[in-house]
Each structure stands twice: as structure tokens, then as C-alpha cells.
Amino acid sequence: MNVIGIAFAMVGAVFAALAAQMQHRAVHATKGGDESTLGLRALGRLVRQPSWLVGLLVMTLGGTLHAVGLGLAPVAVVQPVGVIAVGASAVFGARAGGPGLGRRGWLAVGAIAAGVAGFVGFAGSNAESTDVTGEAALRASEFVVIGVIGFCLLAMALKGRARGLAFATAGAIGYGLVSVLTRAVLQQFQYGGPATFLVAALIGIGFALLVGAVLVQQAYANASPSTVVAGVTVVDPIVAVAIGVGLLGEVGAVSGGVAVAGVLCAVVAVGGVLALPRQAPPSQEAAPEPRPLVGTTAG
């Protein structure tokens, strides 16, 4: 089952990379040339772009395949596979006329993969399943709201690629809450519980997905798809594990060596994101429709 789960996650990661390219180009075709933040009007135009909607469909398919992979194999095995999206995004971008990653970029991708795999592996090897109570879900939501607001404020104070990374981090923090609330919903269906908690969790999932998606679009306006995908790929599992460890008590007594190793793996993964080559986003005039991207994947 592990091999099948990994295969589903790999295909899902490729779809996620393709969706990132489509939505990135749609963002730059919609926003003004000097704009670094998408306003409400720009977001309204964006969601009417056929290329962006196709990207949303592809992203949903990729997320579904990743979820199937999580259902067939452990999180510690499946979650690091998502880093394939970083390399796939660079390949799609290069074949569509953009710059490739180069040797330095691929070394950075390797660092991201090793860091995420190590971090999730150390956490997974010491984790025990716990129930997500209403109190724990509320505390996790508060933690996420503070993190999202903090990185949004940081993004507004930065420019260029740094702003894109900050927005991507904020979006990934929002996505990190989705896994916790999804598990709460599944537990409700399996074991039963208050209907109010179930409804609140479902509303929280929808809101977190919406906020995360909007922030990722803001990230696309300032950074390359590879950088945004890398930021989300690294931060999302770190946030999910942090919530599990710090708020849900999924990890009991952990030795100092294991804790240090986990932190070092996280630092390596973040360092890989920061080491990715700077890739200027395409101008509004140069942003083509995503058809060449789809065509290149077939051949």
C-alpha cells in the first residue's frame, strides 16, 4: 500500500506544479504591471480568468490525489513526496520559456526534500494518534490566525521575492490548519460528537482554504511558482506537525537528540527555499495562456 500511496502523491504533486504555473501566469495577466498586491477588483477579475479556473481544477485534482495517498500510506512517507512539485514547477516553467533552476536550484530542491523528509520522519516516528477536541481545535485556530496575520503584516513591509515568500508562508500556515480540522471531522463521523463542533470544523476548513488560496495568489504576484510552491511545501507540514506536537499532544517524551535533529531538518528545508535562484516573474505582456504548458506535458 505504501508504494501505491507514494504513486498517488507523486502524481498529485505534478498536478500541483502544473496548477501553480497556470495560476501564476493568470495572476500576472490580470494585475497591473507595477502592482505587487492584488486588490479586490483584481481578485474578482482573476477568478473569471479561464486559465486560472483550469488551474484551480487541476490543483483540486492534485490535492485529491495527495489525500488518497495519505489514506494509503503514513504521513511521514507521503508528505515529503510533495516536494516533487518544486522540481516539476521548474521544469514546466523552463519548457514554457522561463528560466530553469540550474545546478544551484536543484541542490536547493534536494535540501528541501531532505529537510522535509527528515522533519516529518522524526515527528512521525514519535507520534501517537490523539483526539482533536473542540478546545484543541480552537487553540489551533487561534495559533494559525496569529501566524497568518503576522506574516501578512511582514509581507506588506517587504518587497519582491521576500514579499512573495512571506505571503506563501501565511497561506501555508492557513493550509496547515486544514489537516487538523479535517481529522476532527473524520473523527466526528467515525465516533460521533456534537453537531455544532462538526459544523464549526467544516466552516473552518472552508475559510482556511479560502484564505490560504487568496494569500498564495498574492505570493504569485511577487515570486516565481517554484519559490511559492517550495514555501508552501515546507511550511505546511511544519505547521501541521507543530500543531500536533504542541497543541494535540501527539508526541510524548522526546529525547533531546531527536528534538535537535527535527529542528535541524526544518532549518535545512527552510534554507533550501531561501537558496532557490531568484526568478523574475513574467511581465503582464509576456504572460501566455497555459495551453503550451499542457501541451509540453503530453510530449
CA distance 153 to 272: 24
Residue type for position 146: I
Q: What is the pTM of this model?
A: 0.77
- As given in the structure block, the three cell numbers for residue 68 are 488518497
Pair 35, 221: CB distance under 8 Å: yes
* Calpha distance 144→136 (Å, rounded): 12
Q: For the chain, how many structural domains are there in total?
A: 1
Q: How far apart are CA 54 and CA 28, in angstroms?
A: 16
Residue 153 has pLDDT above 90, yes or no: yes
Q: For residue 281, is pLDDT > 50?
A: no
pLDDT of residue 54: 93
Contact call for residues 277 and 105 (beta carbons, < 8 A): yes
- What are the tens digits of pLDDT across the range 3-14? 787 788 889 889
pLDDT of the residue at 224: 83
Q: Is 287 a residue whose pLDDT tops 50?
A: no
Residues 6+ apart with CB under 8 A from 205: 178, 181, 182, 185
Q: How far is CA 21 from CA 49, 95, 161, 287, in A?
A: 14, 11, 16, 11
Task: State yes or no: pLDDT of 137 exceeds 60.
Answer: yes
Contacts of 83 (CB under 8 A, 6+ apart): 13, 109, 112, 113, 116, 117, 230, 233
The fraction of the chain above a pLDDT of 70, given in percent, is 77
Place of cell 512539485: 85
Give φ, ψ of 279 to 5 degrees: -125, 115
Give residue 79's pLDDT.
67
Confidence bin at 82 (pLDDT 50/70/90):
confident
More confident residue, 282 or 158: 158
pLDDT digits (tens, 9 = 90+) for 24-60: 888 888 876 556 677 788 888 888 888 899 999 998 8
Structural domain of 198: 2-298
Short-list 244, 127, 116, CA closest to 182: 244
